[in-house]
């Protein structure tokens, strides 16, 4: 509503300016001046109210200079100059609204495309239901081109072709096999497929992203608030120059001209537009930044701290290799173990099943399963007796040499890895080695951050020293902090923030244990690809795609946005200061000064919008 009012007011002021010029050409000068005066007062009244409110709060805002310029123009009978100043303010607000809308387009598109209905199978019928009524276990039909309304698993007999570009920015669709996970907010780029709902829509990945987006772009950045603090210096300087010009020349119009060209629209407009444009650019890459303040802090960041699990590593154990101990091929060992583990609640069992499905192995339903929590599981798969678990536990079941087979693989190459022993029909069949792998893009992460100006990159992990050191060496960080509890991580962040040369500090994590450190850091970045978590609610920035190199993109965007904001303000104010000198010496009358300031406004807005690129 406010945006449309600003556009209407700017249009009316422009019409009044044009109408007055037409009347002046017809020698109706008095009518022209009345029209210009009325249009100027239409802007003066709300401006005076805003300035009065600011003064009551003890805040001398930059609008005070514009108020003095308009009042002076009316008192001195410079009605044409007054209406041009009014057009400058109203047009500036309209331009800012346009730029704000342009800058937040990607943010709004994420919210606008949120699915509102799902097509649920109910017997032989397909029923259209609101997404809030979807429940775990429902089977949905995802039609061609449809946005997936809830997180789930591909069901039925047909794989899915998924367009993830809305969340990841990746242009090419991906094929998800039966049993593979699909996130809400992605869309079906192939034929219709069935989806088993794993989470209610309100708890899904996309719902989390939408909540985060609605928090973004609402905060006023410290750099933007600094614009009002500039007025504390800029207003007295302007008054001094104007007063001196009046005193030396005896012409009050020179003083008015100084105030006209000093109207600091570049200071008001440039910083918020550039920073919000940075928010939009980041959103297009799957990075949700909660306000311009976080963009500004990213722009000045000198230190980046990374958690290990789920941040530098994938956070989910994967099959690294299989050691066969009898005639069964390694893939058959994995297939039988994963088939049995479908009935296990162990975290490694879930990872083993996912890995087997990703590798295209056909799993069979197990029967007669019995599980000892934390130790292993036995059961029947395709008529064969299968046991999966630790070497010590399998040895208790009568599998001789199971403990030795597991220990024989111990060594530097298996630090931080889990070994799953598999027995089939009373004989040891193999050992599956599982590891939390380093993300492929993480190996270049530290160098990429240094290239954009980060001075200190460190790994802060709760893992054992030997595991953390190995990961730190592979990703080439400067320092490794190992065996860190949540409280210890707070101490690390606090100690680094105490060193001025290393601030601002960015902390990157994904788990509940990272939330305190994310909150304490100057910028907390949460890896939130799986939806809203405690860490993503605490963080200033949420990476909604499963790629840690987006951290580098966030820093790069922050630096560029802050540079453009500062550049726009400095150039705009510099131009205004030069114009003030010319006005003081009588070379720039109020009307010409107002037109010049209008040109400066347009230039700084266009320059600020470069942050979108």
- Return the SS3 of 142: strand
> Which of these, 9, 7, 20, lies nearest to 591 by C-alpha position?
20
d(C-alpha 44, C-alpha 66), whole Å: 9
Residue 126 tokens read as: 């397909």
Would you give the end-to-end CA distance of the chain in angstroms? Answer: 28
d(C-alpha 254, C-alpha 214), whole Å: 48
Exposure of 97 by Cβ count < 10 A (0-12 exposed, 13-18 middle, 19+ buried)? middle
DSSP state of 309: I
Going from the C-alpha of 208 to that of each of 108, 188, 525, the distances in angstroms are 15, 20, 15
Helix runs in 498-586, H state only: 515-520, 534-538, 550-584
d(C-alpha 275, C-alpha 606), whole Å: 13
The residue annotated as part of the active site, out of 151, 194, 307, 540, is 307
CB atoms within 10 A of CB 225: 13
The DSSP annotation for 26-38 comes to TT-HHHHHHHHHH
Residue 565 tokens read as: 């904001």
d(C-alpha 162, C-alpha 541), whole Å: 26
Residue 406 tokens read as: 């597991």
SS3 letters across 333-392: HHHHHHHHHCCCCCHHHHHHHHHHHHCCCCCCCCEEEEEECCCEEEEEECCEEEEEECHH
Known catalytic residue at 488: no
State how beta strands 287-289 and 541-543 pair: antiparallel
Please check whether residue 183 is in contact with residue 206, taking contact to mean a CB–CB distance below 8 angstroms. Answer: yes
Backbone angles phi, psi at 426, to 5 degrees: 85, 0
**Dihedral angle sign, alpha carbons of residues 579, 580, 584, 589:** positive
> Which of these, 311, 301, 199, lies nearest to 536 by C-alpha position?
311
For the chain, give me the number of helices (H) and strands (E)?
22, 22
Please check whether residue 402 is in contact with residue 376, taking contact to mean a CB–CB distance below 8 angstroms. Answer: no
> Which of these, 114, 34, 23, lies nearest to 77 by C-alpha position?
34
State how beta strands 505-509 and 303-306 pair: parallel
d(C-alpha 35, C-alpha 16), whole Å: 6
3-state DSSP helix/strand/coil percent for the chain, to nearest 5? 55, 20, 25
Residue 278 tokens read as: 């940075």
Backbone angles phi, psi at 295, to 5 degrees: -60, -45
DSSP state of 310: I
Positions annotated as catalytic residues are 307
């Amino acid at each position: 509503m406010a945006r449309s009012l600003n556009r209407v007011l700017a249009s009316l002021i422009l019409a009044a300016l044009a109408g007055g010029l037409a009347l002046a050409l017809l020698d109706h000068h008095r009518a022209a001046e009345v029209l210009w005066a009325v249009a100027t007062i239409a802007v003066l009244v709300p401006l005076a109210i805003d300035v009065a409110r600011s003064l009551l709060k003890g805040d001398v805002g930059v609008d005070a200079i514009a108020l003095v310029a308009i009042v002076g123009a009316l008192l001195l009978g410079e009605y044409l100059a007054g209406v041009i100043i009014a057009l400058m303010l109203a047009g500036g607000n309209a331009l800012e609204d346009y730029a704000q809308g342009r800058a937040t387009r990607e943010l709004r598109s994420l919210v606008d495309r949120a699915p509102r209905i799902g097509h649920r199978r109910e017997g032989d019928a397909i029923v259209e239901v609101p997404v809030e009524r979807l429940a775990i276990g429902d089977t949905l039909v995802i039609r061609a081109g449809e946005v997936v309304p809830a997180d789930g698993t591909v069901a039925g007999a047909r794989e899915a072709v998924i367009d993830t570009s809305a969340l990841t920015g990746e242009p090419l669709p991906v094929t998800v096999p039966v049993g593979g996970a699909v996130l809400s907010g992605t869309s079906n780029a192939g034929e219709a497929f069935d989806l088993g709902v794993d989470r209610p829509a309100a708890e899904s990945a996309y719902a989390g992203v939408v909540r985060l987006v609605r928090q973004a772009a609402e905060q006023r950045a410290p750099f933007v608030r600094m614009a009002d603090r500039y007025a504390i210096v800029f207003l007295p300087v302007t008054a001094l120059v104007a007063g001196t010009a009046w005193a030396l020349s005896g012409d009050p119009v020179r003083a008015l001209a100084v105030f006209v060209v000093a109207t600091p629209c570049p200071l008001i407009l440039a910083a918020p537009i550039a920073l919000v444009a940075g928010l939009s650019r980041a959103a297009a890459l799957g990075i949700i930044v909660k306000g311009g303040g976080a963009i500004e802090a990213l722009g000045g960041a000198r230190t980046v701290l990374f958690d290990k699990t789920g941040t530098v590593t994938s956070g989910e154990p994967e099959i690294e290799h299989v050691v066969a101990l009898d005639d069964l091929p390694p893939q058959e060992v994995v297939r039988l173990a994963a088939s049995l583990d479908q009935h296990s609640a162990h975290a490694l069992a879930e990872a083993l099943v996912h890995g087997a499905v990703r590798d295209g192995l056909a799993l069979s339903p197990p029967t007669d399963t019995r599980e000892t929590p934390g130790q292993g599981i036995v059961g029947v798969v395709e008529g064969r007796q299968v046991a999966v678990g630790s070497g010590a536990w399998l040895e208790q079941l009568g599998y001789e040499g199971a403990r030795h087979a597991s220990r024989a693989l111990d060594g530097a190459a298996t630090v931080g890895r889990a070994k799953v022993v598999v027995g089939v029909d009373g004989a040891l069949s193999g050992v599956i080695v599982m590891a939390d792998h380093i993300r492929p893009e993480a190996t270049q992460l530290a160098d990429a951050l240094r290239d954009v100006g980060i001075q200190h990159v460190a790994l802060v992990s709760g893992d054992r020293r030997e595991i953390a050191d190995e990961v730190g060496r592979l990703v080439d960080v400067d320092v490794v902090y190992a065996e860190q509890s949540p409280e210890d991580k707070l101490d690390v962040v606090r100690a680094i923030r105490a060193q001025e040369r290393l601030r601002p500090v960015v902390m990157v994590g994904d788990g509940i244990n990272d939330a305190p450190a994310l909150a304490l850091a100057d910028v907390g970045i949460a890896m939130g690809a799986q939806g809203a978590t405690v860490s993503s609610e605490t963080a200033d920035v949420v990476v909604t795609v499963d790629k840690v190199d987006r951290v580098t993109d966030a820093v790069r965007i922050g630096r560029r946005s802050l540079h453009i904001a500062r550049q726009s303000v400095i150039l705009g104010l510099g131009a205004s200061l030069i114009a003030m000198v010319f006005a003081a010496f009588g070379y720039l009358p109020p009307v010409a000064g107002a037109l010049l300031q209008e040109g400066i406004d347009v230039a700084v807005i266009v320059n600020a919008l470069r942050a979108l690129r």
